[in-house]
Amino acid sequence: MSRSQSVAVRYRDVILVCRECSGDAKRIAKTLKHAVHAFEPRPRVVRTSCLDVCPKRDVCVTYLGSGTLVARVVDEDGVAPFVEDIRSLRS
């Protein structure tokens, strides 16, 4: 049986993007990466398996960090409000 190990990571916050959603998760993850690039420290954007909270034809995006925020992002237009919510949680 293997033992779990703790490892140091270079990021404090994580943004999870469901890659199995009907929407264009790959493009939304890329847009999010560019949008949070100026954040210090920068959150890590990770595409993940289904989070089981995704509405049909939307992409579920979850922020884990100072607080927790779950938002639906229908397309790239929804990224900016999501990033502003993250900015307000981090301040």
Cβ atoms of 35 and 28 closer than 8 Å = no
> What is the tens place of the pLDDT at every residue in 30-83?
999 999 998 888 899 999 888 777 777 778 888 888 767 767 776 878 888 888
> What is the tens place of the pLDDT at every residue in 1-41?
678 888 887 788 899 898 877 678 888 899 999 999 988 88
Secondary structure of the chain: what % helix, strand, coil (to 5)? 30, 25, 45
Of 48, 45, 47, 44, nearest in space to 10 by CA = 44
pTM tops 0.85:
no
